């Protein structure tokens, strides 16, 4: 654990702290919205601890608070969270092996996966992944409890522009990877497909549809690179 803090340079630690803080504020609004919607306090809190996936939690609470079926809410939440399979395949070496896979998997979020992808060396990737994962887990859950207890303090995080901050966070972290032409082509086509799908498909599916972009993924083979040299 101590080696995480030694590997993190100060700039990266500051960036991670900012994202954790922003997540904490969104957590406050999530807790407040849930209780304001008529749910018992334990619902958002238990969801945050055990599920720990913001988008699916908002969806679950929204459906259940509106009187919808909890089973439908579960299915919708699982659909939104299915992208974690691809994340796990991509960054399994960052998470590590043995027992680390248990807490490491539970801490998986869009943000810490993006932070890991944004680093160059495996040591840094690991440090960023774990520090960001633990930081978000703490801030998110503390935020949810505060929001649920305080009620309607902050329900509209849009007023702070936080809804624009989160795409910007992911964009800033993913941009370096898009310098690779094959990846960029796949990502642009995938994002286009997802956008077209939004009006027609339930939440979570449009993003999965982006994987169609991989059909256009043509990485330069190492052999070809040597030929160029």
Partner 1 sequence: MNNPMLVLGAILVLAVGTFSLRIAGPLLRSRFEVPVRIQQMMSAAAIVLLAALVATAALTDGHTHAGIARPAGVLVGAVLAWSRVPFVLVVVAAAATAAGLRLLGIP
Among residue numbers 106 through 135, which ones bind partner 1 (CB under 8 A)? Answer: 106, 108, 110, 113-114, 117
- The number of residues that bind partner 1 (CB under 8 A) is 98
Which residue, 52 or 130, is less far from partner 1 as judged by CB? 52
- List all residues 6 or more positions away from 70 whose beta carbon is below 8 Å from its beta carbon: 63, 64
- Number of alpha carbons in the 13 Å side-chain half-sphere of residue 150: 16
Which residue, 64 or 147, is less far from partner 1 as judged by CB? 64
Which residue, 2 or 182, is less far from partner 1 as judged by CB? 182
- State both tokens at 98: 């043995």
| Contact between 92 and 71 (Cβ < 8 Å) | no
154 interacts with partner 1 by CB under 8 A = no
| Contact between 185 and 191 (Cβ < 8 Å) | no
- Which x/- pattern over 7-46 shows residues binding partner 1 (rule: CB under 8 A)? ----x--xx--xx--x---------------xxx--x--x
Q: Which of residues 75-94 bind partner 1 (CB under 8 A)?
A: 77-78, 81-93
Rounded least distance, CB 99 to partner 1, Å: 12
| Out of 3, 138, 172, 181, the residue judged to bind partner 1 by CB under 8 A | 172
Binding window for partner 1 (CB under 8 A); candidates: 1-9, 130-138, 142-150, 152-160: 152-160
| Contact between 217 and 92 (Cβ < 8 Å) | no
Q: Which contacts qualify for 204-208: CB closer than 8 Å, 24 or more apart?
A: 204/55, 204/56, 204/76, 204/79, 204/80, 204/81, 204/82, 204/83, 205/79, 207/83, 208/82, 208/83
Rounded least distance, CB 161 to partner 1, Å: 3
Which residue, 106 or 155, is less far from partner 1 as judged by CB? 106
| Contact between 209 and 191 (Cβ < 8 Å) | no
138 interacts with partner 1 by CB under 8 A = no
User: In 3-state terms, what secondary structure has residue 218?
Assistant: coil
217 interacts with partner 1 by CB under 8 A = yes
């Amino acid at each position: 654990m101590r080696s995480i803090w030694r590997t993190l340079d100060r700039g990266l630690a500051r960036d991670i702290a900012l994202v954790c803080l922003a997540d904490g504020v969104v957590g406050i609004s999530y807790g407040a919205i849930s209780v304001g919607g008529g749910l018992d306090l334990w619902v958002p809190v238990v969801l945050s601890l055990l599920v720990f996936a913001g988008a699916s939690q908002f969806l679950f609470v929204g459906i259940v608070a509106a009187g919808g079926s909890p089973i439908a809410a579960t299915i919708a939440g699982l659909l939104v969270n299915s992208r974690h399979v691809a994340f796990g395949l991509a960054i399994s070496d960052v998470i590590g092996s043995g027992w680390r896979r248990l807490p490491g998997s539970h801490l998986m979020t869009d943000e810490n996966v993006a932070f890991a992808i944004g680093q160059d060396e495996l040591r840094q990737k690991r440090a960023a992944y774990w520090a960001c994962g633990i930081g978000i887990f703490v801030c998110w859950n503390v935020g949810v409890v505060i929001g649920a207890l305080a009620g309607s303090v902050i329900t509209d995080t849009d007023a702070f522009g936080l809804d624009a901050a989160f795409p910007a966070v992911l964009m800033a972290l993913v941009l370096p990877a898009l310098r690779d032409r094959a990846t960029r082509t796949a990502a642009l086509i995938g994002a286009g497909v997802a956008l077209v799908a939004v009006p027609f498909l339930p939440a979570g599916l449009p993003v999965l549809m982006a994987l169609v972009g991989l059909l256009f993924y043509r990485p330069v083979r190492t052999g070809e690179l040597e030929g160029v040299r």
